[in-house]
Structure 1
Amino acid sequence: MASSSGYNKMFPVSWTELHRDARALAWRLADLGPFKGLVAITRGGLVPAAIVARELNLRLIDTICSSTYDRMERGAKVELLKGTIAEQDKGKGWLIVDDLVDTGVTARAVRARLPEAHFATVYAKPAGRPSVDSFITEVSQDTWILFPWDQEAVMAKTIAELKAGQ
């Protein structure tokens, strides 16, 4: 990533690593329940939420849908596209799951609707960390987390090709 985007480091996460980290999150949450249900923040929270829901044997799963990317300034505003049934009781007894808390903009918008829910993410950055209750791995603010759904397998260049500048 170019430094002009604010990201100087890359943290690639494989499917296996994401699964391991989401299970670790479930272990951390296991003694905090029982939960009425789980609210996944779309889209990034869908995969970790499925893993956490399986591990905690949660069957009532809902989503809160948001868009946090502004064309001029990333994360400048949050548009909540769909609410959740958990809003009926301010999230009391519910678990919110997302893949990452970055700046905290999305987390604060969701927290405003579900102030009594337990908010958990797999990964956290310093600016957003105060917005969530639980997380597994913290990375620096200038790190881009490259999730497995944003990657594709490509043929690796040979050493000879790399040396030849191909």
Structure 2
Amino acid sequence: MSSDSFNKSFPVSWEELHRTAKALAWRLTEVGPFDGIVAITRGGLVPAAVVARELSIRIIDTISVASYGVEGDDKERGRINVMKNCEIAGKGAGWLIVDDLVDTGETAKAVRSILPDAHFATVYAKPAGRPLVDTYVTEVSQDTWIHFPWDLEPRPVEPISSLRR
């Protein structure tokens, strides 16, 4: 899917991300306890920190998987590249995987193949990837580009109505 395929823009503020990640933690209280968290970097780092605080989890590992920007364009999907694996022994039973978003599901498939028994949670889910996660908070349409706060700067924008001309 090229960047032209994204018809909608969904900017997320720091406050909104914190509130939604905390809502994810509430949902996960019904599933845990967990031995630790594996955050998918980079996007999963912030929600994983919020979830870890709320669930009193101190053990956090990371797995670095790139699917966007592998070829240099943040909106172009490339091949999946596991750049750093986590150090979890076994298949992940008792562990929680946290990411910001499941989109096409390609990253989720790669991480699931490494930790098939872990519980997978995301803040946002798109329809194509939603079946691959166990818990999520907010569903957005497949043609929506989510702008996370670490990718934003305050600037003037055109009203939505001007985009339909």
Q: Residue 125 of structure 2 aligns with which residue?
A: 124
TM-fit CA distance, 1:34: 1.1
Question: Computing the radius of gyration over CA atoms, which structure comes out larger, 1 or 2?
Answer: 1
CA RMSD of aligned residues (A): 1.8
Determine which of 80, 83, 88 is the counterpart of 1:81: 83
TM-score (norm 1): 0.87
TM-fit CA distance, 1:48: 0.3
Letter in 1 for 2:40: I
TM-fit CA distance, 1:4: 5.5
**Unmatched tracts of structure 1, length 5 or more:** 158-166
1:141 and 1:77 mapped to 2: Cα distance?
Answer: 19
Q: Residue 103 of structure 2 aligns with which residue?
A: 102
Letter in 1 for 2:146: I
Q: Residue 25 of structure 1 aligns with which residue?
A: 24
Letter in 2 for 1:145: I
Q: Residue 14 of structure 1 aligns with which residue?
A: 13
TM-fit CA distance, 1:33: 1.1
1:10-42 Cα distance to aligned partner (Å, 9 max, x none): 111111110000000000001211101000000
Asked if 1:45 is matched to 2:47, the reply is no
Judge conservation of contact 2:41–2:64 (CA < 8 Å) in 1. Answer: yes
Q: Residue 163 of structure 1 aligns with which residue?
A: none
TM-score (norm 2): 0.87
Distance 1:153 1:96, change over 3 A: same
Judge conservation of contact 2:3–2:76 (CA < 8 Å) in 1. Answer: no
TM-fit CA distance, 1:5: 2.4
Aligned residue pair count? 153
2:152 and 2:11 mapped to 1: Cα distance?
Answer: 9
Asked if 1:58 is matched to 2:60, the reply is no
1:49-90 Cα distance to aligned partner (Å, 9 max, x none): 00000000000000001111343993342110111122x210
Judge conservation of contact 1:75–1:103 (CA < 8 Å) in 2. Answer: no
Judge conservation of contact 2:91–2:115 (CA < 8 Å) in 1. Answer: yes
